[in-house]
Amino acid sequence: MNRVRINELLQRPEAGGEVTIHGWVRTCRHSKGFSFLEINDGSIIHNIQCVVDADVPNYDRDVKALQTGASVRVTGRLVDSPGKGQRFEIQAKDVHVYGNAEGYPLQKKGHTMEFLRSIAHLRARSNTFGAVLRVRNVMARAIHDFFQSRGFVYLHTPIITASDCEGAGEMFRVTTLDAGDPPRAEGEIDFAQDFFGKPTSLTVSGQLSAETAALALSDVYTFGPTFRAENSNTTRHLAEFWMVEPECAFFDLDDDVALAEAFLKHIFSTVLSECPDDMDFFNKRIDKTAIETLRHIVESPFERMSYSDAIEILSKSGKSFEFPIEWGLDLQSEHERYLTEEHVKRPLVLTDYPRDIKAFYMRQNDDGKTVAAMDVLVPKIGEIIGGSQREERLDRLQERMKEMGLPEEDYWWYLDTRKFGTAPHAGFGLGFERTIQFCTGMANIRDVIPFPRTPGSAEF
Ligand code: ATP
Ligand code: MN
């Protein structure tokens, strides 16, 4: 089809010539003798105004009947617009209606995010979600660009897994057994008869597989969906979310922290430079500090602090927190937010957490109490990255697995990497949706993914 995208039209140096655009009607006003149509095709947040004269042949039948949401093709001259706030408009000479939109639920304004979530199949046609999806796309490309330009290998790790990476047990079971009448052996469900011959789940992280690849290719990253059956109904948790997990051999915790900082800054500066119109929109409508915050972060170094120092700062803060602060307890999001929003007022990397609140694979520090872990905390969101240097010493790893009751048989292949040419290595996981939230200022994580999966909700 002969078609030009609206973003391309609006970037033209000057008006002139005949153009054909296709898109959806955002608003239409019919007055005596002509109609104004605002058309959007999703290529840019701005609409293009089309002025349709009543002498267009199908004016009475089609154009006057047009409703918000209808899909159209418009051909006409691109002219300078006398109206305010737009450079060009189209003087239509031909309008074709693909489909009208009687009863279309997405009217011009005033919809709540909750309502839009209930029409998630249509919300990409709203300004906010169009902008979110375009920014999401640019961020995905920025992520690939960052790693590809540094020689990392993009690794596709399995989504179905028989190992529980976090040891947290919050996994979705994958099975073809009949839930109503599973085969049994000695009273227990007989998973030997299941599809894979053993219990399997959707992955919570690609890390363990990524480690095996890093110990062959040196620098790898994954970027894919992960799943957590945690019943946390928060604005920062999804049951299905996308994670980016770089893993590097011959890398220690300091290298890991430096990589995380460079990585986040690259994503943020790319969004600032490549999404000016959408970021302007977020800055006006969603979060008045969005652009300033990103600029500030790109320009200033991240703060770094140990978990132990953070505990001391929190206990001396004079704040009353809902959850207790005590060395050895995990930090809650209220604590994380205090540290990053109020105490340092920028991204904060916390390191060296107590080993008892962290996963088995994290490298033990010499103090016998902490592990070489790092979390990156950002204002408004809290944790956006979780990472660590991995335990590369076979005996220490086996000791830790024993303490935590993890059977070696289940991890034989993981332990092999420590038997055959083990090497210091480190990596982290970035929550993609939390990063989008941070850039756009969107308050709820359900509103930065096309179709959110959360407890009790898998519609669309
Ligand atoms: P939190 O304490 O916030 O639940 P976590 O410690 O479980 O996070 P990790 O297991 O370290 O997180 O996962 C790495 C990253 O993945 C996190 O830093 C976060 O950005 C993201 N993440 C974790 N769980 C979720 C979730 N349920 N929904 C969306 N993103 C998540
Ligand atoms: Mn969690």
Give the position, in ligand 1's atom list, of the atom nearest the Cα of 434: 20
Nearest to 440 by CA among 452, 430, 432, 428: 432
What does the pLDDT read at residue 85? 83
Give the position, in ligand 1's atom list, of the atom nearest the Cα of 166: 10
Say yes or no to pLDDT of 83 above 90.
no
Structure-token match 């803060």, residue found = 317
pLDDT for 154-194, tens place per residue? 999 999 998 765 555 689 999 999 999 999 999 899 999 99
Which 3 state secondary structure label does DSSP give 239? Answer: coil
Give the position, in ligand 1's atom list, of the atom nearest the Cα of 385: 18
Say yes or no to pLDDT of 246 above 60.
yes
Distance of CA 176 to the CA centre of its chain: 30
Distance separating alpha carbons of residues 168 and 204, to the nearest angstrom: 9
Give the position, in ligand 1's atom list, of the atom nearest the Cα of 386: 11
Q: How far is the CA of 267 from the centre of ligand 1 (A)?
A: 18
Say yes or no to pLDDT of 26 above 70.
yes
What does the pLDDT read at residue 1? 78
Q: For ligand 1, atom 24, name the residue with the nearest CA.
A: 237
CATH superfamily, domain 6-99, is Nucleic acid-binding proteins (2.40.50.140)
Distance separating alpha carbons of residues 185 and 158, to the nearest angstrom: 29
The mean per-residue pLDDT over the stretch 321-336 comes to 95
What does the pLDDT read at residue 165? 54
Cβ–Cβ < 8 Å for 243, 429: yes
What does the pLDDT read at residue 337? 93
Lowest mean pLDDT among 239-243, 256-260, 377-381, 442-446: 377-381
Q: How far is the CA of 65 from the centre of ligand 1 (A)?
A: 49
Tokens of 75: 């051909």
Tokens of 397: 């790893």
Give the position, in ligand 1's atom list, of the atom nearest the Cα of 243: 16
Lowest mean pLDDT among 68-72, 184-188, 275-279: 184-188
Distance separating alpha carbons of residues 277 and 417, to the nearest angstrom: 48
Distance separating alpha carbons of residues 347 and 301, to the nearest angstrom: 8
What does the pLDDT read at residue 310? 97
Say yes or no to pLDDT of 91 above 90.
yes
What does the pLDDT read at residue 78? 97
In sign, the C-alpha dihedral spanning 161, 165, 169, 172 is negative
Ligand approaching nearest to the C-alpha of 384: 1
Lowest mean pLDDT among 1-5, 132-136, 229-233, 336-340: 229-233
Examine domains 6-99 and 124-168+204-447 and report if their fold is the same. Answer: no
Ligand approaching nearest to the C-alpha of 236: 1
In CATH terms, is domain 124-168+204-447 a member of 3.30.930.10? Answer: yes
Give the angle subtended at the CA of 332 by the CAs of 330 and 337, to the nearest 5°: 130
Q: How far is the CA of 446 from the centre of ligand 1 (A)?
A: 14
> What percentage of residues in the chain have a pLDDT greater than 70?
99
Instruction: Tell me whether residue 29 is exposed, middle or buried, using C-beta atoms within 10 angstroms of its C-beta: 0 to 12, 13 to 18, 19 or more.
Output: exposed
Say yes or no to pLDDT of 39 above 60.
yes
Say yes or no to pLDDT of 29 above 60.
yes
Say yes or no to pLDDT of 108 above 80.
no
Q: How far is the CA of 107 from the centre of ligand 1 (A)?
A: 35
Give the residues surrounding ligand 1 with Cβ less than 6 Å away. 166, 228, 230, 237-238, 241, 243, 383-386, 429, 431, 433-434, 445
What does the pLDDT read at residue 2? 85
Domain limits of the chain?
A: 6-99, 124-168+204-447
Nearest to 42 by CA among 108, 110, 134, 111: 134
Structure-token match 């300033």, residue found = 292
Residue type, 294: L
What does the pLDDT read at residue 253? 98
Residue whose CB lies within 8 A of the most ligand 1 atoms, among 170, 221, 234, 434, for a mutation test: 434
Ligand approaching nearest to the C-alpha of 241: 1
Nearest to 48 by CA among 58, 56, 57, 38: 38
Ligand approaching nearest to the C-alpha of 229: 1
Cα distances (angstroms) measured from residue 128 to each of 133, 292, 379, 406, 442: 9, 19, 22, 46, 9
Give the position, in ligand 1's atom list, of the atom nearest the Cα of 376: 18
The mean per-residue pLDDT over the stretch 126-142 comes to 98
Give the position, in ligand 1's atom list, of the atom nearest the Cα of 383: 18
Residue whose CB lies within 8 A of the most ligand 1 atoms, among 136, 383, 428, for a mutation test: 383
What average pLDDT is seen over the chain?
A: 95
Cα distances (angstroms) measured from residue 351 to each of 305, 358, 388, 453: 6, 12, 9, 31
Q: In degrees rounded to 5, what are phi and psi of residue 20?
A: -125, 120
Say yes or no to pLDDT of 110 above 90.
no
The mean per-residue pLDDT over the stretch 226-249 comes to 94
Cα distances (angstroms) measured from residue 368 to each of 52, 361, 423, 426: 76, 15, 21, 19
The mean per-residue pLDDT over the stretch 200-212 comes to 95
What does the pLDDT read at residue 168? 57
Q: How far is the CA of 431 from the centre of ligand 1 (A)?
A: 6
Q: How far is the CA of 343 from the centre of ligand 2 (A)?
A: 23
Q: How far is the CA of 48 from the centre of ligand 2 (A)?
A: 44
Give the position, in ligand 1's atom list, of the atom nearest the Cα of 445: 29
What does the pLDDT read at residue 84? 83
Q: For ligand 1, atom 28, name the residue with the nearest CA.
A: 237
Model pTM above 0.75:
yes
Q: For ligand 1, atom 4, name the residue with the nearest CA.
A: 237
Say yes or no to pLDDT of 13 above 90.
yes
Q: For ligand 1, atom 15, name the residue with the nearest CA.
A: 431
Ligand approaching nearest to the C-alpha of 226: 1
